[in-house]
Amino acid sequence: MSVLDPVTHALAAVLAAAHSALTTAGLDAASGLTWSLALAAVVVVARSCVLPLAVHAVRSARAAARARPDLDALARRYRGRRDPDALREQLAERRRVHAEHGVSRLGCLPALVQVPVWLGLFQLVSHAAAGVPTGVLDAGLVALLGAATVAGVPLASSGYLGGGTTHLAVVAGLAGAAALLSFVTQRVFVAQNALPVTAPEGTRPALAEALSSTQQLLPLVSAGGLLLAGGVVPVALLVLWVANQTWSLGWSAAVWRLAPTPGSLAAARWAR
């Protein structure tokens, strides 16, 4: 028994229910379209369940941005002071600034809480593509998923090569779509909604340049990782990734437009 079992079984129930609803509506139970829509429905349900955590993250980012000038001033005031009294005073002042601006004490915990959901989703679809039942997603449903195809390419198949030109086109197309969506999300909406990178107090400006360069590389690394993974994961998982990256793009665009981080390029753009 795995610690992810409660999550995978819950997600399996959602996938089975979505598939049942689609077939009741008249779609073919073994169709790739039906299973693709069911996988997209699982993404919608999963992302909706963690939406409060995503909203909390946005509010935390805005609060941290508002607190940044006060924290920078505090760091300058206590620069070079390492005696116990000064450290206690600085810590107390930091807590006061955090409380004043509403900075969350949870830090990255809300983001970590989401990790089991994505791991469980990855495990569920990987197992289903391999013919392994999970919870109410029984052997019959798994067999239907394994028989489903997208443009003639089975959802259970994997890899870029070995299946002909059509297989290569479908796999590369799905992996490329997921990578492109990820790149646009990170490069346009996330990057413009982030605060400019600055060197920590007392460090060389070159560090800020290095951090900024690293930040600019992240979209390429993310997109490249999806393209590489596209050669080893099942097609069903690529369909899931496209749906998930589509949601991420829409959510990031909404935050970029409606709740930009104070001090970011997005905030300056919409303040005009």
Could you read off the pLDDT of 119-128 as tens digits, one per residue?
999 999 999 9
Q: How confident is the prediction for the chain on average, in pLDDT?
A: 86
To which residue do tokens 């004043």 refer? 100
Task: Quickly state the pLDDT bin for 247 (edges 50, 70, 90).
Answer: very high
Percent of the chain past pLDDT 70, that is, above it, reads 90
Could you read off the pLDDT of 209-239 as tens digits, one per residue?
665 667 778 888 889 999 999 889 999 999 9
The amino acid occupying position 148 is A
Q: 265 or 25: whose pLDDT is higher?
A: 25
Q: Which pLDDT score is estimated for 84?
A: 80
Could you read off the pLDDT of 138-178 as tens digits, one per residue?
999 999 999 899 999 999 999 898 788 999 999 999 999 99
Q: 87 or 154: whose pLDDT is higher?
A: 154
Q: How many domains does the chain have?
A: 1
Task: Quickly state the pLDDT bin for 53 (edges 50, 70, 90).
Answer: confident
| Range(s) of the domain holding residue 11 | 5-270
Could you read off the pLDDT of 60-84 as tens digits, one per residue?
888 888 888 887 787 787 787 777 8
User: Which are the contacts of 253, defined by CB distance < 8 A and separation ≥ 6?
Assistant: 189
Q: Is pLDDT above 60 for 28?
A: yes
Angle of CA points 17, 22, 25, to nearest 5°? 125
Q: Which pLDDT score is estimated for 224?
A: 92
Q: Which pLDDT score is estimated for 71?
A: 78
Spatial contact of 230 and 238, defined as CB atoms under 8 Å apart: yes
The Cα-based distances of 212 to 18, 64, 74, 190 in angstroms read 43, 19, 24, 14
The tokens describing 206, both together, are 């070159």
To which residue do tokens 């760091």 refer? 75
Q: Which pLDDT score is estimated for 61?
A: 80
Across the range 193-199, mean pLDDT stands at 70
Across the range 263-270, mean pLDDT stands at 84
Looking at the whole model, is its pTM more than 0.75? yes
The greatest distance separating any two alpha carbons of the chain, rounded to the nearest whole angstrom, comes to: 73
